[in-house]
Amino acid sequence: MNARADSVDSRYSNMSDFNLHPFLGSLSQAAEPVRQAGDALLAVSGGADSMALLRGMLDLNESHPCRLAVAHFNHKLQPAVSDDVACWLQQTCEQLAIPCYVGVADVGQLAVETGRGIEEAARNARYAFLKQTAQQNSFTRVLVAHTRDDQVETILHHLLRGTGVAGLRGMPARRMLVPLSDGQAGIELLRPMLAVARAQAVDFLRLACQDYRDDPSNADVAFTRNRIRHELLPFLETSFNPNIRDALSKLAQQAGELQDALEQIVHQQLRGALLDVNADIVRLRWQPLNEQTRHVIRESFAMLWKQQHWPRQRMSFSHYDRLATLLLDGGTASLPGGIVAERRGELVVLRRQSDGA
């Protein structure tokens, strides 16, 4: 679908309204780390959210110049549509005088080959492309256009799948995409639009006279996130709470603050328990963690998974709770990603099997 504000034009219909638009204020504040780093790779799908990110960053760049470029990933889920969007975006970037890097992969085939769902396969391929593009072109910041609406959908998705407090915080505003290593600069992922409603981004594009391309797959309710967006959220708004998005956004903020404090405690406890670690095997002493609450034990395993870069998409509350039971009472457990845990004497040993996905 082609959604237009009027036409692609760098002249704004109302300069006063545009320059005072709250979207720019929110984006400017959240994008401060970009100005400090001096560079940003913008992940742009061509949809309204990411086009607002692109046009907003270009506007802010006039007063605080830094190196910007666009990264677009073609998932090939609907080849005729996605190829057209990629071509359109490249032409738009030429008009806006910003470099555009395009990646492509047959995500449907990748899902079949890896045994993963379409949504997970698409996400993995997209982020792999963003990492590679940032590394090859020396970018230290990657910006994605997730909005407050995306955050609310993510929280509901976590709740439906089963989650702890960490899942209630939704997506973090900042995280390391590629960690620091051997003196090499890391790459940070930023979400500067988490305080912005999707409708606000669309209104900003209207004032900027910037068109965008809706992804037809966003309307396909075969995907869980789309059912949440098009069916569950409207039902909750009309039947229970018209301000459910605000309520869930506040919950995410409070959960994030609580989780930050908890992670400081968990980090100290986990560091004291770990005995030795490599990519596929971890051994830790269970006695130090045995003295902690069950919640701290669960969070310790969640942090360990994150530190090990083990697959977390299929790990739910029940899996981490099973690990807490194992640590406290003994036994073995087989976990997603081909990981097996066992309590042996004074140790808990976790091993990632070579054929684990």
pLDDT on residue 18: 52
3-state secondary structure 238-292: HHCCCCHHHHHHHHHHHHHHHHHHHHHHHHHHHHHHEEEECCCEEEEEHHHHHCC
Residue pLDDT, tens place only, 310-337: 988 788 889 999 999 999 999 999 999 8
Instruction: Report, as an integer, the average pLDDT of 87-99.
Output: 97
Confidence of residue 224 (pLDDT cuts 50, 70, 90): confident
Q: In the chain, where does the domain assigned CATH 1.20.59.20 lie?
A: 251-352
User: Residue 7: what pLDDT?
Assistant: 40
Under a CB-based contact definition with an 8 Å cutoff, are residues 209 and 6 in contact? yes
- Predicted confidence (pLDDT) at residue 60 exceeds the cutoff of 50: yes
The rounded Cα 58 to chain-centroid distance in angstroms is: 22
Residue 162 has pLDDT above 90, yes or no: no
Burial pattern 298-327, b for ≥16 Cβ within 10 A else e, equals: bbbbbbbbeebebbeeebbbebbbbbbebb
- Reply yes or no on whether the pLDDT at 6 is more than 50: no
| Mean pLDDT computed over 196-213 | 95
Q: What totals of helices (H) and strands (E) does the chain contain, helices first?
A: 16, 13
Lowest-confidence pick of 30-34, 80-84, 137-141, 221-225: 221-225
Q: What is the mean pLDDT of residues 273-281?
A: 93
Q: What is the mean pLDDT of the chain?
A: 90
What whole-number distance in Å separates Cα of residue 152 and Cα of residue 230?
A: 13
CB 307 within 8 A of CB 299: no
| CATH code reported for the domain at 251-352 | 1.20.59.20
Report the pLDDT value the prediction gives residue 20, as an integer from 0 to 100. Answer: 66
Q: How far is CA 138 from the centre of its chain?
A: 21
Smallest Cα–Cα separation from 266: which of 304, 293, 296? 296
User: Among 100, 174, 188, 104, which residue's Cα sits nearest to residue 142?
Assistant: 188
Q: CATH 3.40.50.620 occupies which residues in the chain?
A: 2-239
Architecture (CATH level 2) of domain 2-239: 3-Layer(aba) Sandwich (3.40)
Distance (Å) of CA 263 to CA 89, 110, 166, 350: 40, 35, 10, 21
Please say if the pLDDT value at position 356 is more than 50: no
Do 71 and 78 meet the contact criterion of CB atoms below 8 Å apart?
Answer: no
- Mean pLDDT, to the nearest integer, of 127-131? 96
